[in-house]
């Protein structure tokens, strides 16, 4: 399983929004509508951004990564 698949499998309301880009509910806060953006870049790294202001460490801790 790839890194991005591992993360996406742990999130709720995941929707692919483009090639190598997704949006999901942020597990680090009470997210009613998806506010977590995930993008896999060409070298395999992930860019994770919560539009609600959660730190990446908080997001990853919430899904036990």
Q: Are 45 and 7 in contact (CB under 8 A)?
A: no
pLDDT, tens digit (0-9, with 9 covering 90-100), for 18-55: 999 999 999 999 999 999 999 999 998 999 999 999 99
**pLDDT, position 1:** 81
- Residues 18-51 as b or e (16 or more Cβ within 10 Å = b): eeeebbbbbbbbebeebbbbbbbeeeeebebebe
Assign 61 to helix, strand or coil: helix
**pLDDT, position 21:** 98
pTM passes above 0.95: no
Assign 39 to helix, strand or coil: strand
Cα first-last separation, the chain: 14
């Amino acid at each position: 399983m790839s890194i991005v698949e591992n993360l996406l499998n742990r999130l709720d309301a995941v929707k692919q929004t483009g090639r190598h880009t997704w949006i999901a509910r942020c597990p680090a806060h009470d997210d009613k509508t998806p506010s977590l953006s995930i993008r896999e870049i060409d070298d395999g790294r992930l860019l994770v951004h919560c539009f609600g202001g959660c730190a990446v460490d908080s997001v990853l801790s919430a899904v036990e990564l």
